[in-house]
Structure 1
Amino acid sequence: MSLDGKVAIVTGSGRGLGLAYARQLARQGASVVVNDVDAGAADEAVAAIRSAGGRAVALVAPVGPTETAQALVASALDSFGRLDIVVTNAGVLRDTVLWKMSDEDFDTVVNVHLRGTFTTVREAVRHMRQAGEGGRIICVGSPTGQRGNFGQTNYAAAKAGIVGMVRTWALELKRAGITANTVVPVAATAMTATVPYFAAAVQAEAKGEPVPAFFRHDLGFGTADDVAGLVAFLGSDAAAGVTGQVIGVGGDRIQIWTHPEAVATAYREGGWTYEALLADWSTEFAGALQSVGERFPELPEEFRPAGS
């Protein structure tokens, strides 16, 4: 089931994961609006897609402002006559611990990731609903948005917020035949290149060598191309029944994340007073407390950075 005749927008697609998504969508037959803030990267991405026989145009602009969202949709309609798929991938990092994070650090990340997703999808959905032919919204999340990560208050907040929006959109857009899902990629990118734990995998990928099996299988950590197949699938007619989901993908692994559910419930006539909680917390609730942060298996010695 190809994507022939479909038209997609992919934000932040000049390089990395976004480029892999754009190329895979084009490979499956979709025409693509490539978006990036780097004109050179955007032009190179378009050239690569066209040289492989695909169709693509570039729109150079930062996501976040409504004007960019409007320009993206207009570019799809003016260049290809329709819009079927939106992939919100654009992002930036400004990592630092909470007490050192500036207003600018926080606002920049939230504006690109969260506001950029909101404005882009809002504009796309306005057109899709009017066109009456359904559509596919694919937003990019992160393990950090699911479990938190040291030094990433802004990024965690934005990625968690994206998941909340997607679940809401799945409800709001169902009658229009528009699906909304979150993809959580785990792959060798510029964002993971600085993490020592992934160094061996990132170096292998950079050299064009196979990513070691420990990373691909045990961690579900691979290349950008390992993620792109899921993005294209979610953009297809075959995924018409998939909506409101958070799907993790990387290396040899794919996962469906649970939606938050209560893991412990207790009732007390008259309510839970301070005194009642002091008396009963340890027996009723302490055993149900949830962990935070990502949990990785011990790194095999052969992949440990020198001196660690």
Structure 2
Amino acid sequence: MSIDLTGKVAVVTGSGRGLGYAYAAALARAGAAVVVNDLDADAAGHAAKTIGEAGGRAVAEAVAVGTAQAADRLVERAVTAFGRLDVMVTNAGILRDRVLWKMTDEDFDAVLTTHLRGTFTCARAAAVRMREQGEGGSLITVGSPAGQRGNFGQTNYAAAKAGIAAMVRTWSMELARSSITVNAVVPVAATAMTETIPAFAPYAEAMRQGKPLPDFLRKGEGFGTVDDCAALVPFLASDAARGITGQCVGIGGDRLALWSHPQETATAYADGGWTPEDIATVWESALGRHQESVGIPAPRIPEE
């Protein structure tokens, strides 16, 4: 099946470099016209120019996502430049990593503003426009394994990404009648963010030197380049994915995966309700053995 996005128009936030640029370039290669967004005007302009030189159609719009005004500006740029909006990819993000007792209000708010509020405002503005057009569309958010499992030192980031997954599930229901699909990409790639993880750092450095990643990372860990993650976005934006909505889809290296939704894994019952003593008595036999693990597992490096 050929993925052809000719005639579609997309906005990709945070696409001046890294994963965002890979998404924007992949959409353009599939035929979509793209609004490249970044806080850095030079990065956005260079990315749009590079896409154009490769035969795609792209314009740049430099603005920090988070506010309703910024979201409206991005949608208006798409409509003014290309006449419509079909795809919104909410990729923009920042990091302010600290353990809980050292994280400031400013650290927390900055990350939530960019990731969570930025996703909300951009998705809302896009949904309004797509519903006015009456031809459906695609909202593609960006999650993270940290939002699925938590990650040490990332209270703000993990909370934002978990919130994005919850919004995806909610919006998929609210926008179903408008034929607007809503999904989250959960990428795993060598980026400025993942390079801060000690286990991945040497492999990211090896990639910069042109060395290939070993199979245990590409397949076993689903870890690769930003370009390895790019194909999922044009697929989710295409007619081939019209029946896919409310999902968190992982991609990285050679691996494609579907994340589960939270659900009850074990239950117990007490006639008339529970006392603390009752819970203590039944915990180990009924629920304790089913406790979930937390955190992003370190790569399982094979012994030589």
Give matches, 1:177-192, under 5 Å: 177-192=179-194
Cα shift readout 1:127-157 (whole Å, capped 9, x = no counterpart): 1001100000000000000000010000011
Q: Which residue of 1 aligns with 2:204?
A: 202
Please give the TM-score of this superposition, normalised by the length of structure 2. Answer: 0.97
Alignment partner, residue 82 of structure 2:
80
Q: Residue 257 in 1 paired to residue 259 in 2?
A: yes
Name the CA distance, whole Å, in 2 between partners of 1:2 and 1:161: 31
1:164 aligned residue: 166
Alignment match, 2:127: 125
Q: Deviation digits for residues 20-48 of structure 1, max 9, x if unmatched?
A: 00000000100000000111111110111
1:21 lines up with 2:37 in the alignment? no
RMSD of aligned C-alpha atoms? 1.1
Q: In the alignment, what sits opposite 2:278?
A: 276
CA distance, structure 1, for counterparts of residue 241 and residue 207 of structure 2: 30
Aligned partner of residue 268 in structure 1, secondary structure: coil
* SS at structure 2 position matched to 1:262: coil
CA distance in 2, matches of 1:197, 1:91: 22
When the two structures are aligned, how many residues end up with a matched partner? 302
Q: For residues 116 and 265 of structure 2, what CA distance do their matches in structure 1 show?
A: 28
Deviation at 1:280, TM superposition (A): 1.5
The alpha carbon displacement at 1:59 in A equals 0.5
In the alignment, the residues of structure 2 paired with residue 93 and residue 298 of structure 1 have an alpha-carbon distance, to the nearest angstrom, of 25
> 1:179 deviation in Å?
0.1
Are the equivalent residues in 2 in contact too, given 1:88–1:140 (CA < 8 A)? yes
C-alpha separation in 1, matches of 2:153 and 2:172:
31
Q: What secondary structure, in the 3-state scheme, does the structure 1 residue paired with 2:295 have?
A: coil
Which residue type is aligned with residue 86 of structure 1? M
Per the alignment, in what secondary structure is the counterpart of residue 17 of structure 1?
A: helix
CA distance in 2, matches of 1:274, 1:66: 46
Percent of matched pairs sharing the same residue: 61
Query: Match of 2:241, as an amino acid?
Result: A
1:50 to 49, 52, 55: 52
Q: What is the DSSP-based 3-state SS (H/G/I as helix, E as strand, rest coil) of the residue aligned with 2:194? A: coil
Shift of residue 10, structure 1, vs aligned partner: 0.1
- 8 Å contact from structure 2 (residues 28, 51) kept in 1: yes
Partner of 2:37: 35
Q: What SS does structure 2 have at the residue aligned with 1:35? A: strand
Whole-angstrom CA distance in 2 between matches of 1:300 and 1:19:
33
Spell out, residue by residue over 1:57-115, the C-alpha distance to the aligned partner (whole angstroms, 9 max, x if none).
00000000111100000000000001000100000000000011000000000000000
Mapped partners of 1:109, 1:235: distance in 2:
26
Aligned to 1:111: 113
The alignment's TM-score, normalised by the length of structure 1, stands at: 0.96
Q: Distance in 2 between matches of 1:244 and 1:172?
A: 10
Unmatched segments (≥5 aa) in structure 1: 303-308
Task: Give the conservation status (yes or no) of the 8 Å contact 2:217–2:299.
Answer: no
**1:69 maps to which residue?**
71
